[in-house]
Structure 1
Amino acid sequence: MTGHHPRQAVVTGSDSGIGAATALLLAAEGYDVGLTCHEDTAGVRATAAAVEERGQRAVVEVFDASRPDAGATVDRLAEQLGGLGVLVNVAGTGHTDRVVDLPYERWRQVLATDLDGPFLCAQRAARIMIAGGHPGRIVNVTSVHEHLPRLGTAAYCSAKAGLGMLTKVLALELAEHGITVNAVAPGEIATPMTGIAEEDAYREERPGNPVGHVGHVNEVASVIGFLVSPRASYVTGASYVVDGGLSLMAAHGHDSATGWRSLS
């Protein structure tokens, strides 16, 4: 399939954090953007205003990724935008419960939000792109915990690992239609979800991380921006880890947080 994908994008969870940063980057690159929020309507309105300040259209929908009709939001946004070339699945949730204490209802809610929702949105986006007869880009924001387990996050890790494998299957199935599908797997990023203010990203020290600090949302958004660009046309089914080198540290787990750099 030849040609370029349309300059219309949907970014879920774009009221703050990685989603908002991604929406603004895409707007700066000439995309009209469909935005969603779950409850933070003030946040998504601020993102919409910032998109429009960059000379692009913004349309907004309230969105619950855990609902069986979550995919319909993509249909509505694409209709308002007049097409769809890019979907970025950012919306998600987490938890802190050991498996023995994790209520089934919480397990299901996290999986529904972090796996079912992206599946339904990607399915609808792919249908729109195929029907339009043009290439497209789908990016699923997973987590470094797509690849690495963490105590107290069984549902979150399971959902993100599942979304990583869904990304690969979608890449296989949609390649013939000119649609690439990739994952971006952030480490600890300064967002409302992690409780770290965006402006503190480079001041929040992490001695056990090779880079030594928390990541900034723009560092994740820039990777997403690459993946939806023509420069990444031959990239599909990949997972780009954006974690400051954290996932390289397994062999140093026995070292102290401050002493791992020493060879003595």
Structure 2
Amino acid sequence: MTNIPRLAIVTGADSGIGRATAELLAVEGWDIGLTCHTDVEGAQGTARAIEARGQRAFVEPYDASSDDAGQVVDRLVEQLGGLGALVNVAGTGHSSRVLDTDLDTWRRVLATDLDGPFLTCRAAARHLVDAGQGGRIVNVTSVHEHLPRLGAAAYCAAKAGLGALTQVLALELGEHGITVNSVAPGEISTEMTGQDTEEAYHQQRPGNPLGRPGHVNEVASVIGFLCSPRAAYVTGSSYVVDGGLSQMAAHGHDQAGDAWRSL
């Protein structure tokens, strides 16, 4: 279906990948519903940037770990006047070995990174099916949707679960012209990783084939493609955006040097 309304919801759009995605979609003619957890000022800044591009923007608070997380979709759909795409970016992380991870922490990460997207996907899918015009759902996971990482059991489990949920949704929603895909970033220069966005082009990562972290716009561009008519026949896929890092298992992970480039 090619008449999908250019009305999108982007969760976690107050900064980082969410903000870059919202601004890119606005350039391409989408009105955007934004969510934020605590950074209201950041979300309002994103909204102003969208409005400066001639598009409408609406901001709603969103706690992905809440049992009623899906209601943010209903509120934003009412303000937008419909829905064409949902992009789930909001999430959290945690670092501790399994033996040191308490159940409350495990549940908090799973609730934020898996339960929340489940609820927003379900709410968005209901609106899209009822409208009968097709649609797009894009879930931002992580390279750890596919690869384990020491000390990140809850995060990896949640992202792998979200990847599997994405595939099931692709099967169930395809008959309605709704595509569902995931985007799996590697290290991206954002506030969440303790880096300024532009540091992506200046930081050295010798153990990464491209030799640097990713820029938020490089992830947003893939999301924008998946929301576009150009991706109408793409569903159930996971797009890894990691500079080739996931190809490095045989060479060692996070190497300090680039000796691996030599035979």
TM bucket, shorter chain: over 0.9
Q: Which runs of 4+ in 1 moved over 6 A?
A: none
Which runs of structure 2 are paired with 1:13-32 in the superposition (5 Å)?
13-32=12-31
Question: Is residue 191 from structure 1 mapped to residue 190 from structure 2 by the alignment?
Answer: yes
Deviation at 1:103, TM superposition (A): 1.1
1:56-113: CA deviation from partner (whole Å, max 9, x where unpaired): 0000001000001000000000110000000000000001111000011010000000
In structure 1, what is the equivalent of residue 148 of structure 2?
A: 149
Q: Which residue of 2 aligns with 1:161?
A: 160
**2:78 and 2:257 mapped to 1: Cα distance?**
51
Distance 1:99 1:58, change over 3 A: same
Q: Aligned partner of 1:112: which letter?
A: A
Counterpart position of 2:179: 180
1:193 partner SS: helix
Alignment TM-score, normalising by the size of structure 2: 0.98
Cα deviation, residue 204, structure 1:
1.1
Residue in structure 2 matched with residue 260 of structure 1 by the alignment: 260
Secondary structure of the structure 2 residue equivalent to 1:138: strand
Q: Count how many residue pairs are aligned between Structure 1 and Structure 2.
A: 262
Counterpart in the other structure of 1:95: 94
Give runs of aligned pairs for residues 1-264 of structure 1, distance below 5 A.
2-253=1-252, 257-263=257-263
Aligned with 2:75: secondary structure? Answer: helix
C-alpha displacement of 1:253: 1.2
* Unaligned segments of structure 2, at least 5 residues: none
* CA–CA separation in structure 2 for the residues paired with 1:65 and 1:137: 20
| Amino acid corresponding to residue 206 of structure 1 in structure 2 | R
CA-CA distance at 1:258 after TM superposition: 2.1
Q: CA deviation at 1:3?
A: 4.0
- For the residue of structure 2 that corresponds to 1:201, the secondary structure is helix
Contiguous gaps of at least 5 residues in structure 1: none
Q: How far is 1:133 from its partner?
A: 1.1
Q: RMSD of the alignment, in Å?
A: 1.0
Contact persistence 2:205–2:256 (CA under 8 A) = no
Secondary structure (helix, strand or coil) at the match of 2:170 reads: helix
Displacement, 1:34?
A: 0.2
**1-structure distance, mates of 2:32, 2:256:** 45
